Amino acid sequence: MIAPITGFSKLTKNKKIEWLVDTYFLNDTTAINTLKKYWNSDEALQKLHDEFIENTITNFYLPLGVAPNFLINDQLYAIPMAIEESSVVAAASKAAKFWLTRGGFKATVINTEKVGQVHFMYFGNTEKLKAYFEHIKPQLIEATSHITQNMKKRGGGITEIELRDKTKQLDGYFQLHCTFETVDSMGANFINSCLEQFAKTFESAAKSYGLFSEKEKEIQIVMSILSNYVPNCLVRAEVSCPVSSLTENESIDANEFAEKFVRAIQIAKTEPYRAVTHNKGIMNGIDAVVLATGNDFRAIEAGVHAYASKDGTYSSLTHAEATNGIFKFWIEIPLSLGTVGGLTSLHPLVKIALQMLGKPSAKELMQIVAVAGLAQNFAAIRSLVTTGIQKGHMKMHLINILNQLEASEDEKAYFVNFFKDKTVTHSAVVNAFTAYKKEHAS
């Protein structure tokens, strides 16, 4: 049985690795060598990465790819994407190339409102609490002036504070529902600092509020935290073209393609089992750009999937129609992003990714990310209703299978050519590779 360790965080990186290898890898030097192989030879750069998180032992690499030819609001972009899944970058690039000659993507930021809440318990007279809130509200704003002054200079700050009665859901539960504008920063630290100050002021001032009884003065703050659900931090991205120019696939008529495409979206709107996979494909594109630009993809995922359920059933994030000979495909999605602060000013590759995008504002990045999700979904649906998803995906996955089989570069080249006109499956590649090795055995 493995014994607990104390003081692990105080060990050097080498000592941490020694303990891990001794405890979990039976002193396997291969594990040590692999972990250290991923250290950066530039000591300053490695130290920077070590300090991003706690108990660092090595770096975990993901490929950083580029999807070129994205025409967004008449401006051409090459979009950086950090992801490990085969065919995602290829699919995005293919969709970008398709829409490049059909007017490109149009994107609009609808709103940029961020949300945070102070959750508290109060068991007194609700009308007294409402009166207290109106009394204290200006003081809440004033108490955060030292936090908001720089944000105000950039055009941001606190936009509203509301008292919300949630006692029907939970006895005694109320909240201060607060909204913010954080301009080009994602704003998590700013919002949380404001909320914690709201909570202190709200709780302490209650003790001297004359209309409260002694019991009512005991407001209990439970927690103060931003919300990653930002349904009013919305961006819309869309494409449209005549149905007659919609398909490049000679095996399917343009009208038939449009009908099947729209039907596929309708299915994702009505069937949650399909909607989850449908939206996962959208997030392939979104997460890859969010990660490449140093933003929080977990927060984005949580907020997006909550938004997909806003009408009571989990549903498609994208929409499509073919009316009067015009095909239209669009997405409206909540994205809370930043281009200053956090990793955006620390991670060298994030800096390059943002520079590649022309050093966008947060609003511009929202548009780019939404377009990446829409493009990914277009590519996936187009494959699904024509050739099927596996043909393209498994062609891209072929190299991964060959790498698992430890194929040489010459063998990889041979099998890429060999499977040009064949269906790629894991078993088919293994069987063909095994036969090839037998045939070429010395």
The pTM assigned to this predicted structure is 0.89
Catalytic residue among 114, 393, 395, 397, which? 393
**393 given a catalytic annotation:** yes
Q: Is the pLDDT of residue 417 over 60?
A: yes
**Nearest-angstrom CA–CA distance, 368 and 364:** 6
The residue type of 365 is L
pLDDT band for 389, please (50, 70, 90 cuts). Answer: low
Query: Is residue 143 within 8 Å of residue 254, measured between CB atoms?
Result: no
More confident residue, 293 or 428: 293
Amino acid at 391: K
Token pair recorded at residue 203 = 């709780």
pLDDT digit string, tens, across residues 106-126? 999 999 999 999 999 999 999
pLDDT in tens, 48-66: 999 999 999 999 999 999 9
* CATH topology (fold) of 64-109+234-387: 3.90.770
Report the pLDDT averaged over residues 131-149: 97
Query: What ranges in 38-72 are assigned the alpha helix state H?
Result: 43-50
Residues near 348 by Cβ (< 8 Å), separated by ≥ 6? Answer: 45, 48
**Could you please report the per-residue DSSP string of 129-147?**
HHHHHHHHHHHHHHHTHHH
Residue of 296, 347, 364, 395 marked catalytic: 296
Decide if 319 is catalytic: no
Task: Provide the pLDDT confidence category of residue 394 given band limits of 50, 70 and 90.
Answer: low
Neighbours of 360 (CB within 10 A): 20
Under 8 Å between Cβ of 89 and 83: yes
Catalytic residue among 85, 216, 259, 332: 85
395 — pLDDT class (breaks 50, 70, 90): low
pLDDT of residue 396: 64
User: What pLDDT, on the 0 to 100 scale, is given for residue 159?
Assistant: 98
- Reported as a pLDDT band with limits 50, 70 and 90, residue 177 is very high
Active site residue 85: yes
Share of the chain above pLDDT 70, in %: 97
- pLDDT of 345 reads 85
CB contact at 8 A, 176 and 117: yes
What is the pLDDT, as a whole number, of residue 399?
A: 78
pLDDT digits (tens, 9 = 90+) for 338-375: 999 888 889 999 999 999 999 999 999 999 999 999 99
CB of 264 within 8 A of CB of 383? no
- Which residue has 């919609």 as its token pair? 246
CATH number for the segment(s) 114-227: 3.30.70.420
Q: Mean pLDDT lowest for which of 5-19, 24-38, 409-423? A: 409-423
pLDDT at position 250 is: 67
Residue 342 confidence (pLDDT): 84
- The region of weakest confidence among 235-239, 288-292, 365-369, 396-400 is 396-400
- Does 94 score more than 90 pLDDT? yes
